[in-house]
Amino acid sequence: MLNQVVLVGRLTADPEIITTETGKKKTVVNVAVNRPFKNSDGIYETDFIRCILWNGIAANTTEYCSKGDVVGIKGRIQTSSYEENNEKKYITEVIAERVSFVSSSNKKED
């Protein structure tokens, strides 16, 4: 069996790092990926894919990337669920195993 995904797209916001209660570093980013075909109105649609980055990958992406930068992400799909107002909600996200910085506007200023 295989669970692998490769994405190339633009960051929709500046990555921000958080530290979990256990001391791990985590960054959640959304990557905008254009579909390779036009819809019936002649427009390319875009998927916004939630990606979770951990530890070193999270720190490097937060330091060197910002909104609009193109990144390549290799990882795996993970699903989970939770209850809200007696309704079961599902989440699908990509857990990043590798992030490549394809294009960057500039290194972030301190």
Is there a domain that residue 108 lies in? Answer: no
Is there a domain that residue 110 lies in? Answer: no
One digit per residue, the tens of pLDDT, for the chain of length 110 reads: 999 999 999 999 999 999 999 999 999 999 999 999 999 999 999 999 999 999 999 999 999 999 999 999 999 999 999 999 999 999 999 999 999 999 876 555 54
For tokens 């979770």, the residue is 52
Helix, strand, or coil (residue 94):
strand
Q: How many domains does the chain have?
A: 1
> DSSP states of 56-79 as a string?
HHHHHHHHH--TT-EEEEEEEEEE
Is there a domain that residue 24 lies in? Answer: yes
Classify burial at 85, counting beta carbons within 10 Å of its beta carbon; exposed 0-12, middle 13-18, buried 19 or more. exposed
Residue 79's domain comprises: 5-103
Domain CATH for 74? 2.40.50.140
Global pTM? Answer: 0.86
Cα–Cα distance for residue pair 9/48, rounded to 1 Å: 9
